[in-house]
Chains A and B, each alone.
Chain A
Amino acid sequence: MPSITKPLIPLAPLPKNDLGLTIRDYEGAMSTLCAGCGHDSITAAIVHAFWELSTPPHTIAKLSGIGCSSKTPTYFVRGAHGFNSAHGRMAAIATGAYAANRELTYIGISGDGDSLSIGLGHLAHAIRRNVKMVYVIENNGVYGLTKGQLSASADIGSRPKKGDPNIIAPIDPILLGLSLGATFLARSFSGDKEQLIPILKAAVAHNGLALIDVISPCVTFNDHEGSTKSYRFMREHEVKEVVTDFVPLRREIQATIPTDGTRVVPMHDGSIVRFRSVPADYDPRNRESVESYIRDHQTRGEIVTGLLYVNELAQTPHEMGHTPPTGLNRIPLSELCPGAAALDALQEDFR
């Protein structure tokens, strides 16, 4: 497959976004993942989301660790900055990058192995700090790159391609996030771009860490009968009661958004997330109601998807630290590091 390239066909009516770019300008290299991998669909959704948001490619930083999922930043927005870090360390690298330059749009791509096994500690702290970034977990329940062993997100009873069904309880990144004080939690399915694209757009607008757990079937090692992360299982067990739209700021001026029967959450940058259809007792801003809703469905064997929890009131590390609005990397070294005398004066304050 790598030998075959996706040709640029000079079709006249290819639509352009506000920057005059076509969707082809937001693509990356050809994927070398297995044909039919859910990750490639997520890549396509990310391409769509950034193109529709008209995000300038050079203002995007894409980060990843190790794994099938972590290969994917190569496959979208070829004009963006990129960093392939060590296994499980994407969250730590992203925290550092964000500290140095708050002006970029950060998107980290990770998997269930990278984030829920080796990198769980780093993920927990990035959530706790509320680093402003989009954090996508491409969750397929297996270690695909090492031939399909069950991962930390495999459900009890899920059957691997070879061997016995799983008996160890899984880590659910959404429930984990709720307990750690995450400010934006969503679950989606790689086979449902209609849902995933608006969630990705809202995640980019979110002021803090936006964690998106995307069930992304491993077509090679986890798409058989008996798997709970297969295309077929997801289509039969997905519950989409929480339906959200993302309304960018500029559209709000053009048309009035009907709010009857919907819940509107204004985002930090003035855009809004509209919850079009939610169950009566569901409040996407209430941690307890969200948790019980997810647990109720889990006991019934159902997978709830959608933008499940959002809190726009929390602060980012830069806001908490009162750092200047420009990236620290743009501040002259003499100002950023005023020297031993300034340090002495500061320390004098604490005596």
Chain B
Amino acid sequence: MTFETFVPHPNAGSSGCSKEDRVEPTNDQDPSYYHRVVDCQWACPAHTNVPGYIRLIAQGRFTDAYMLNRESNVFPGILGRTCDRPCEPACRRGRVDGNPVAICRLKRVTADLKDDITDRLPTAPAQKNGKRIACVGAGPSSLTVANDLVPLGYEVVMFEQFATAGGLMRTNIPEFRLPDEVLNSETQAILDMGVDIRYNTPITSLRSLLEENFDAVFVGVGAPRGKGLEIPGRHDETGPESHIHIGIDWLESVSFGHVTSIGERVLIIGVGNTAMDCCRTSLRLGGTDIRVMARRPREYFKASAWELEDAEEEGVAIVVNHAPRRFVIEDGRLVGMEFDVVEWDEGARHSTVLDTVTIPCDDVILAIGQENAFPWIERDLGLTFGEWDMPVVDETTFESTLPGVFFGGDAAWGPKNIIWAVAHGHQAAISIHQFCHGQSLTERPAEGMNLLSQKMGMSEWSYYNDYNPSPRQQMRHIELTERFRSLNLEVELGFTAEQTAREAQRCLNCDVETAFQASLCIECDACVDICPVQCLTITHNGDEADLRGRLSAPSVNLDQPLYVSAPLPQTGRVMVKDENVCVHCGLCAERCPTAAWDMAEFTLQIPYASSPGVLRIPVPTKPTSDVRS
């Protein structure tokens, strides 16, 4: 054979097919591509850097892990106990072995084991910027706004109707789920930055608040009104005290010590998380026969699965397919409730009544939802109300139609969860900051990213990349015999050191991304051969459906994107990665002879009010006359 000089391959540099039937190379310079691979962070409304803090936990750096959490979600201790956990159903580990990483519980670990963080919290500058902001309500969204704005020199005046801060986190979440000291320490941390908190000061008129000439007003009053149930008998009680309670009002009364007991037989109407809190609280106030009455079958319940489990473990009966008909009142006293026993068609859209039953009871708690109420906002201020008598709020800027008045949390678009309120608070703070400096609110600061190679040397990586087959760790609970002794005995005990270590290792480090550089690839197949989940394929380009049909492992999850490289230098084929079940083990990078694959830690740079670039025109720090031309 004779040796010939190098002639470029006819296919090199092109995929060899027309534009229509091929996938364009993935733009991995757009932060949202790698962000989406970090499923938990993508699903979290506040985009908490979950794998980042789990790695810190694994290193025993609990305080650092707490502070990383706090950056985005502000209340790690509270959320570590009460979050609705949108991250966990999204977790990649769930797609691998069926059980997501116990992210929420690990968050609690950071709060439980942190050292004193006082000197690491943001502080207010001595020199204020002269802007005054009013926050209505002292719930999670208002506190987040204050957390972001006070360190920038704003004077934040917070109006709270009660004598304590926390909003629904305090009044609606029972102490056996969220101890007061956790709530107090995290709310106080923000107030201590220098928030001018005015307790026992309900705002009764937006007009008079506006007359106080604040530079901006943030409304974070939640959704404070529990829904009623207008069926026969509802208003027929004649005794001094009604035994038909509105769930969130009743929880509030319990929280403030106004209610300390309940009858033995209690019916809870509704199947959301408030219903779960009501039934479990009833058990601690003297209830012995507690039933949660549901109209529809179990799979349509709104309550989180784990809260339902906890309630059932404590002996609460869940009764499905019972639709309330009327309250049974005898001699002006509630004695029971009548229900239709129903059967549902498939999809539970239509029901047929099979029977009618009466269930005797001493008290009924209505936990069928809550709604917004703005009786204190005058309707002639230029603040438009739309459908359902809700204020019209811009989904990006959180501004109402009245310039300078912002909404967030449940007050903006109805009941959601604490983590949403926090996310709203961060965005509203950016808007308020821009508004107070006369800048457009619609030009938002862009998310950025940082990719940092984890390669330390031959077979050495700066993250622990062994797959740990441990099952999800189970939360330890206080003994059932002990649990009901007091209303404020926290039921969940937190993870032990060993559980923490094991659960932290279950995290797949999705933020340590497989970063590919097509120009370096020699198509040796080493990565394709070594991948333990066969998520890599080198093939000729085609349209997405076609590509998905030619992958090494069947493409079973169309919700997860494909990574498609630029054409490879030698054959013009492309490297395709199915993002669905990559376990980020790093073996592709380990086996790559040319370092075309690298494992690089992705950090999402989330803009906050304090980030550079939020104000496009920098605010002069000195009077303009001092600027020399």
Chain A residues within 8 Å of B, Cβ to Cβ: 1, 3-11, 13, 15, 34-38, 40-41, 43-44, 155-159, 165, 170, 190-191, 193, 217, 219, 223, 225-226, 228, 231-232, 235-237, 298, 301, 303
Check A6/B554 contact, CB under 8 A, given A158-B3, A217-B524, A228-B3. Answer: no
Which of B9, B458, B591 has most chain A Cβ within 10 Å?
Answer: B591
B590/A4 in contact, CB under 8 A = yes
B529/A235 in contact, CB under 8 A = no
A165/B591 in contact, CB under 8 A = no
A40/B526 in contact, CB under 8 A = yes
A228/B522 in contact, CB under 8 A = no
Distance from B26 Cβ to chain A, minimum over Cβ atoms (Å): 23
Chain B interface main SS type: loop
Bound together, the chains give a CA A152 to CA B431 distance in angstroms of 74
The chain B residue with its CB closest to the CB of A75 is B529
Distance from B99 Cβ to chain A, minimum over Cβ atoms (Å): 11
Bound together, the chains give a CA A7 to CA B528 distance in angstroms of 15
Identify 16 residue pairs between A and B in the complex whose beta-carbon atoms are under 8 Å apart, listed by A's number: A5-B466, A6-B532, A7-B466, A7-B467, A15-B554, A35-B526, A35-B591, A36-B591, A40-B529, A40-B530, A43-B529, A157-B3, A190-B524, A219-B522, A235-B523, A236-B6
Q: Contacting chain A: which of B358-366, B491-499, B580-588? A: B580-588
The chain A residue with its CB closest to the CB of B95 is A11
Partner of A156, one of B1, B469, B583, B591: B1
Contact with A along B442-483 (1 / 0, CB 8 A): 000000000000000011000001110100000000000000
Chain B residues within 8 Å of A, Cβ to Cβ: 1-4, 6-7, 9, 96-97, 458-459, 465-467, 469, 522-526, 528-530, 532-533, 553-554, 556, 570-571, 581, 583, 585, 587, 590-594
B459/A3 in contact, CB under 8 A = yes
Enumerate chain A residues within 8 angstroms of B522, measured Cβ to Cβ: 36, 219, 223, 231-232
Enumerate chain B residues within 8 angstroms of A157, measured Cβ to Cβ: 1-3
A9/B532 in contact, CB under 8 A = yes
A36/B594 in contact, CB under 8 A = yes
Partner of B96, one of A3, A9, A34, A158: A9
Q: Give the top 3 A-B pairs by smallest Cβ distance, nearest first.
A: A36-B593, A157-B3, A7-B467
Check A11/B533 contact, CB under 8 A, given A35-B592, A36-B594, A158-B3. Answer: yes
A301/B96 in contact, CB under 8 A = no
Check A7/B459 contact, CB under 8 A, given A35-B526, A155-B1. Answer: no
Distance from B224 Cβ to chain A, minimum over Cβ atoms (Å): 46
Distance from A165 Cβ to chain B, minimum over Cβ atoms (Å): 7
Bound together, the chains give a CA A38 to CA B556 distance in angstroms of 30
Enumerate chain A residues within 8 angstroms of B554, measured Cβ to Cβ: 13, 15
The chain A residue with its CB closest to the CB of B526 is A36
Distance from A4 Cβ to chain B, minimum over Cβ atoms (Å): 6
Distance from A141 Cβ to chain B, minimum over Cβ atoms (Å): 11
A10/B2 in contact, CB under 8 A = no
Q: 7 other contacts beyond A6-B532, A157-B2, A301-B2, with CB at 8 A cut-off?
A: A1-B459, A6-B530, A7-B469, A15-B554, A36-B526, A44-B528, A231-B570
Distance from B52 Cβ to chain A, minimum over Cβ atoms (Å): 22
Enumerate chain B residues within 8 angstroms of A237, measured Cβ to Cβ: 4
Bound together, the chains give a CA A191 to CA B525 distance in angstroms of 7
Bound together, the chains give a CA A138 to CA B9 distance in angstroms of 25
Partner of A9, one of B458, B467, B590: B467
A11/B6 in contact, CB under 8 A = no
Bound together, the chains give a CA A175 to CA B7 distance in angstroms of 28
Check A41/B524 contact, CB under 8 A, given A235-B570, A236-B9. Answer: yes
Which of B1, B524, B553 has most chain A Cβ within 10 Å?
Answer: B1
The chain A residue with its CB closest to the CB of B594 is A36
Distance from A8 Cβ to chain B, minimum over Cβ atoms (Å): 7
B530/A10 in contact, CB under 8 A = no
The chain B residue with its CB closest to the CB of A237 is B4
Distance from B566 Cβ to chain A, minimum over Cβ atoms (Å): 17
Bound together, the chains give a CA A232 to CA B4 distance in angstroms of 12
Distance from B100 Cβ to chain A, minimum over Cβ atoms (Å): 15
Enumerate chain B residues within 8 angstroms of A10, measured Cβ to Cβ: 96-97, 469
Bound together, the chains give a CA A300 to CA B528 distance in angstroms of 33
Bound together, the chains give a CA A209 to CA B522 distance in angstroms of 33
Enumerate chain B residues within 8 angstroms of A36, measured Cβ to Cβ: 522, 524, 526, 591-594
The chain A residue with its CB closest to the CB of B6 is A225
Enumerate chain A residues within 8 angstroms of B590, measured Cβ to Cβ: 1, 4, 35
The chain B residue with its CB closest to the CB of A157 is B3
Enumerate chain B residues within 8 angstroms of A34, measured Cβ to Cβ: 593
B593/A35 in contact, CB under 8 A = yes
The chain B residue with its CB closest to the CB of A41 is B525
Partner of A235, one of B9, B467, B532: B9
Check A301/B570 contact, CB under 8 A, given A7-B583, A35-B590, A44-B529. Answer: no
Enumerate chain A residues within 8 angstroms of B528, measured Cβ to Cβ: 44
A231/B524 in contact, CB under 8 A = yes
Which of B9, B467, B583, B592 has most chain A Cβ within 10 Å?
Answer: B467
Bound together, the chains give a CA A122 to CA B8 distance in angstroms of 41
The chain B residue with its CB closest to the CB of A15 is B554
Bound together, the chains give a CA A281 to CA B530 distance in angstroms of 41
B4/A44 in contact, CB under 8 A = no
Check A41/B529 contact, CB under 8 A, given A11-B96, A11-B581, A301-B1. Answer: yes
Bound together, the chains give a CA A3 to CA B590 distance in angstroms of 11
A235/B571 in contact, CB under 8 A = yes
The chain B residue with its CB closest to the CB of A230 is B522
The chain A residue with its CB closest to the CB of B539 is A194
Distance from B320 Cβ to chain A, minimum over Cβ atoms (Å): 30
Enumerate chain A residues within 8 angstroms of B466, measured Cβ to Cβ: 4-5, 7
The chain B residue with its CB closest to the CB of A2 is B459
Enumerate chain A residues within 8 angstroms of B526, measured Cβ to Cβ: 35-37, 40-41
Bound together, the chains give a CA A301 to CA B96 distance in angstroms of 49
Enumerate chain A residues within 8 angstroms of B593, measured Cβ to Cβ: 34-37, 219
Enumerate chain A residues within 8 angstroms of B583, measured Cβ to Cβ: 7, 9
Distance from B569 Cβ to chain A, minimum over Cβ atoms (Å): 8
Enumerate chain B residues within 8 angstroms of A9, measured Cβ to Cβ: 96, 467, 532-533, 581, 583
A156/B529 in contact, CB under 8 A = no
Bound together, the chains give a CA A191 to CA B528 distance in angstroms of 11
Bound together, the chains give a CA A41 to CA B97 distance in angstroms of 29
Distance from B531 Cβ to chain A, minimum over Cβ atoms (Å): 9
Partner of A8, one of B2, B465, B529, B532: B532
Enumerate chain B residues within 8 angstroms of A3, measured Cβ to Cβ: 459
Distance from A282 Cβ to chain B, minimum over Cβ atoms (Å): 20
B524/A159 in contact, CB under 8 A = no
Partner of B585, one of A7, A225, A228: A7
Check A236/B7 contact, CB under 8 A, given A4-B590, A223-B522. Answer: yes
Which of B528, B570, B592 has most chain A Cβ within 10 Å?
Answer: B570
Bound together, the chains give a CA A36 to CA B589 distance in angstroms of 11
Distance from B51 Cβ to chain A, minimum over Cβ atoms (Å): 17
A4/B97 in contact, CB under 8 A = no
Enumerate chain B residues within 8 angstroms of A8, measured Cβ to Cβ: 469, 532
Bound together, the chains give a CA A226 to CA B97 distance in angstroms of 48
Distance from A292 Cβ to chain B, minimum over Cβ atoms (Å): 16
Enumerate chain A residues within 8 angstroms of B524, measured Cβ to Cβ: 36-38, 41, 190-191, 217, 219, 231
Which of B525, B530, B532 has most chain A Cβ within 10 Å?
Answer: B525
